[in-house]
Amino acid sequence: MTCAVLFSLKKEQQQFIISSCINAANDSVPSVRAAACRAIGVIACFPEIFRSAEILHKFINAVEVNTRDQPVLVRITASWALANICDSFRHSVSDFSLDPEANFRVVTFLLECSLKLTTDGDKIKSNAVRALGNLSRVIRFSNPLEQGKCAVTCPGTGKMDNFSWKCTSTQEDTARSTDSLGCVHLLEKIVQAFLSCITTGNVK
């Protein structure tokens, strides 16, 4: 299905297709879950689809669950869909009806999921690298080590342009810094993931 075909349908029919994909992603049959993830990955590439924050969240949740599935075929397809979602997010971030904090939570959740996938098999790792590459283009790191502070800015609408998530290193922050999304180590972990994949012949 192409973007033109989907949006030529009535609103109710569009919603039926989207909800069917999301529901199928939770099916008991692995091949159905894999097919649902592929459908989500295709629809996620349509520019208009993520103008709805609700659809964005449902797609992300449906795909993320399947990236942790046992059958490798499901994980491969889910990781491919995740990379497509990140690519669509990169191109459409200014269109989202999310407040800055919500936008940042979406980015960090996608980053966390993508980083975890870099330790999986080669095909999944390759998709994870593509996802991280897309996300790295919507995050601006500014003086991450200056006075123990780092800022992550998500570009987009006017109100988002001035949004900057900052944290000052304290004992509590240090305790959290082992988390994959600790602000000081965020860029470092992304770079480490890229370098690790470079050493893997099938992912280069």
Tell me the pTM. 0.74
Residue 154 confidence (pLDDT): 44
Q: Does 204 fall in a domain?
A: no
| Structural domain range at position 179 | 3-198
Q: For residue 63, give the CATH number of its domain.
A: 1.25.10
CA 83, 86, 88, 91 torsion: positive or negative?
Answer: negative
Residue 11 confidence (pLDDT): 92
Residue 195 confidence (pLDDT): 74
Residue 155 confidence (pLDDT): 42
Residues of the chain with pLDDT under 50: 144-182, 184
Q: Does 203 fall in a domain?
A: no
Residue 146 confidence (pLDDT): 44
- The pLDDT tens digits of the residues spanning 21-37 come to 999 999 999 999 999 99
Domain count, the chain: 1
